[in-house]
Amino acid sequence: MTISSSLNAGVAGLASNATRLAAISDNIANSATNGYRRVETSFQSMVMSSRGAGEYSAGGVRVGTRRLIDQSGSLVATINATDLAVRGRGFLPVARSTEVDAGNGDPKLLLTTTGSFRTDANGILRTDSGLTLLGWPALPDGTMPTYPRDTSDGLEPVQINVNQFSGEPTTRMTLGVNLPATETTAGASGDTQELSVEYFDNLGRSENVHMTFTPTVPATGTSNEWTVVLDDTAQPGVVIGEYVLTFDSSRTSGGTLLSVTTVSGGAYNATTGSLIVNVAGGPIELNIGKPGESDGLTQLSDSFAPLNISKDGSPVGNMTSVEVDEQGVVYAYFDTGITRPIYQVPLIDLPNPNGMIAMDKQTYMPSPESGSYFLWNAGDGPTGDIVSFALEESTTDVASELTDMIQTQRAYSSNAKVIQTVDEMLQETTNIKR
């Protein structure tokens, strides 16, 4: 039995070292594969119970392999905005492109740590290996609705419509205009002052809020009062607001707004310095300044001067590029200067990443051993962040693998020598009969 157990132990040693060599070969073959996680081989001895003192039976060895999914490789910079890599803990959600194209329900969720994603003919972000990036779509106004975090429901292929048009309606204006103080004194000509401020409606068309400032000319002294009438070019002949502006003439606050009286239109809010006017497409907040402050409407000197006029909104523009920020938000950039969130790519975390099932193309599938997964915003909770213009290198250290290969080769040769020696001993035992 002792000689036979030696033979069995030698055979087990050959098989175990062959397995280790296979793992080393895989690691070296994928030393340039982005996102590859190396396979580690471990040996466990097998002990057979002895029958008595002076007897020993060789148990041999068992081999085990595991992929070190929780070890990450170095990041390398690229020139593609949609080359993505995870820096730290977490995985990107992807699906096989064939399953996405088939459209037979939700595709199976797979996880990866890096990918060179580019748009296909339909604008869907995919890798050359056939993986599609998944994310949560944003609402048309760029806000993100609430999605479930313990399931992949809500995730869909990230689609970039490179021919997409976009415009933003104007919702807020700020007026910094000086009115001539000389026009509100007795004997002044009482000439009106006119100003038009462009805004963009809900369809990206250009319209104007037209303002007519009329001074109140007193019989004697100074009134420091103006009446402004606002109308909308989208609604000819319709007055959308009328206000009486009274300015301060004191030494400390001379020329600033003293009070605003609403004749028609939205009421003036002295706390915020704004009022609401309703154009054809909806309300616009018009900021004319707070009483006593000089950053809005003023009345100084003898000149009419639009000093600071600003507004939000933009005309219709073409999408020019997309980028992904550290939180996984996919932004679309337009040639009008608009930046709009269109998707958010979450990071998925599991209690035991090494318990996942390894698939091809550097992807992994959750399993009971990996635990339940949770979808985080990148940078929240235990997860790291997402790096664009980057890919993750393989975790294979070629020098270390070559060293392991030499050790494996020597161990294999030694086990082969054991088998050869046992064979010679058995041959000697056979020769005893002769």
Domain boundary among 312, 339, 354: 312
**Claim to verify: residue 400 and residue 426 sit in the same structural domain:** yes
pLDDT on residue 61: 87
Query: Would 377 be classed as within a structural domain?
Result: yes
Query: Tokens at residue 171, please?
Result: 């919702």
Tokens of 5: 């157990």
Residues making up the chain, counted from first to last: 434
Give residue 1's pLDDT: 55
DSSP structure string for 211-254: EEEEE---SSSB--EEEEEEEETTSTT-EEEEEEEEE--STTTT
Last residue of a domain, one of 277, 312, 347: 312
Asked whether residue 56 falls in the same domain as residue 188, the answer is no
| Predicted local confidence at residue 371, as pLDDT | 93
Task: State residue 339's pLDDT score.
Answer: 85
Q: What is the pLDDT of residue 234?
A: 94
In a domain, 317, yes or no: no
Whether 73 is covered by a domain: the verdict is no
How far is it, in rounded angstroms, from Cα 313 to Cα 319? 16
**Contact (CB, 8 A) for 15 and 419:** no
- Whether 233 maps to a domain, the answer reads yes
Between CA 125 and CA 409 the distance in angstroms is 44
Kindly state whether residue 297 falls inside one of the protein's structural domains: yes
Q: Is 16 inside any structural domain?
A: yes
Same-domain status, 260 and 333: no
Domain boundary, last residue among 278, 312, 346: 312
Q: What is the DSSP string of 115-141?
A: EE-EE-TTSBEE-TTSEEEEEEEPPTT
242 domain-assigned: yes
- The CATH number for 217's domain is 2.60.98.20
Do both 246 and 350 map to the same domain?
A: no
Is 399 found in the same domain as 388? no
Q: Which residue has the tokens 């009106």?
A: 192
pLDDT value at position 300? 94
| CA contacts within 13 A on the Cβ side of 181 | 13
pLDDT of residue 358: 94
Q: What is the DSSP string of 72-119?
A: ---EEE-S-TTEEEEESS-BEEEEEHHHHHHTSSSPPPEEESEEE-EE
The tens-digit pLDDT sequence of the chain (434 residues) is 577 778 888 888 899 999 999 999 999 999 999 999 999 999 888 877 666 666 777 777 889 899 999 999 999 999 999 999 999 999 999 999 999 988 887 889 999 999 999 999 888 999 999 999 999 999 887 889 999 999 998 999 999 876 666 778 999 999 999 999 999 999 999 999 999 999 999 888 899 999 999 999 999 999 999 999 999 999 998 999 999 999 999 999 999 999 999 999 999 999 999 999 999 989 999 999 999 999 999 999 999 999 999 999 888 878 888 999 999 999 988 887 788 899 999 999 999 999 999 999 999 999 999 999 999 999 999 999 999 999 999 999 999 999 999 999 999 999 899 888 888 888 878 888 66
Q: Do residues 177 and 300 share a domain?
A: yes
Q: Which domain holds residue 354?
A: 78-163+322-392
> Does 187 share its domain with 252?
yes
- The neighbouring-strand residues paired with 94 are 110, 133
Q: Are residues 123 and 85 in the same domain?
A: yes
Do residues 327 and 402 share a domain?
no
Contacts of 213 (CB under 8 A, 6+ apart): 179, 192, 193, 194, 195, 226, 227, 228, 304
Q: What is the pLDDT of residue 162?
A: 66
Q: The tokens of 96 are what? A: 């096989």
Say what the pLDDT of residue 299 is: 95
The predicted structure's pLDDT at residue 182: 94
Measured CA distances, 400 to 74, 395, 405, 407 (Å): 16, 11, 9, 11
| Rg (the chain; Cα; Å) | 38
Task: Mark whether 286 and 358 lie in a shared domain.
Answer: no
Separation CA 12–CA 60 (nearest Å): 6
Q: Which pLDDT belongs to residue 370?
A: 94
22 located within any domain: yes
Q: What CA–CA distance (Å, rounded) separates 166 from 137?
A: 16
Check: CB of residue 35 under 8 Å from CB of residue 78: no
Split into its structural domains, the chain has a count of: 3
Tokens of 236: 């000819």
Same domain, 417 and 357: no
Q: Are residues 303 and 242 in the same domain?
A: yes
State which amino acid sits at residue 313. Answer: G
